[in-house]
Amino acid sequence: MDTNIRKKLLDEYLEYLEYQKNYSHYTIISYQKDILEFFQFIDRENLSFDQIQYSDVRFFLIYLKEELQLDNNSVDRKLSSLRGFYKFLANHKVVSTNVFSLVNGLKKSRKLPRYFEYSELEELFLVPDKKTPIGQRDSVILELLYATGVRVGELVSIKVEDIDFHNRRILILGKGNKERYVIFGEYCLDSLKLYLEEGRVSLNTNHVDTLLLNHNGGELTERGVRYILNQLIQKTSIQKNISPHMIRHSFATHLLNEGCDLLTVQKLLGHESVKATQIYTHVSTDRLKEVYFHSFPRAKISNNDKF
Report pLDDT for 288: 62
Domain CATH number, residue 213: 1.10.443.10
Report pLDDT for 307: 44
Q: Does 267 share its domain with 236?
A: yes
> Is residue 182 in a domain?
yes
> Is residue 109 in a domain?
no
Q: Does 94 share its domain with 243?
A: no
Q: Does 264 share its domain with 202?
A: yes
From the list 146, 107, 110, 130, the residue with the least C-alpha distance to 249 is 146
Q: What is the end-to-end Cα distance of the chain in Å, rounded?
A: 86
Cα separation values, 62 from 69, 107, 110, 157, 189, Å: 9, 15, 21, 40, 52
Q: How many domains does the chain have?
A: 2
Q: Does 198 share its domain with 124?
A: yes
Weakly modelled stretches of the chain, pLDDT under 50: 306-307
Q: What is the tens place of the pLDDT at every residue in 205-257? A: 999 999 999 999 999 999 999 999 999 999 999 999 999 999 999 999 899 88
Catalytic site positions:
151, 175, 245, 248, 271, 280
Q: Does 136 share its domain with 62?
A: no
171 beta partners: 181
How far is the C-alpha of 300 from the C-alpha of 284, rounded, in Å? 21
> Is residue 44 in a domain?
yes
Contacts for 111-114: CB closer than 8 Å, 24+ residues apart: 111/73, 112/279, 112/282, 113/246, 113/249, 113/252, 113/253, 113/279, 113/280, 113/282, 114/240, 114/246, 114/249
Q: Does 191 share its domain with 278?
A: yes
Q: Does 136 share its domain with 279?
A: yes
Residues 209, 211, 214, 219, Cα dihedral to 10°: -50
Report pLDDT for 293: 73
Domain CATH number, residue 62: 1.10.150.130
Domain boundaries, position 134: 118-288
From the list 72, 81, 82, the residue with the least C-alpha distance to 52 is 82
> Is residue 303 in a domain?
no
Q: Say what angle helices 186-194 and 133-148 make with each other, to 10 degrees.
A: 150
> Is residue 296 in a domain?
no
Report pLDDT for 283: 55
Q: What is the tens place of the pLDDT at every residue in 117-143? A: 999 999 999 999 999 999 999 999 999
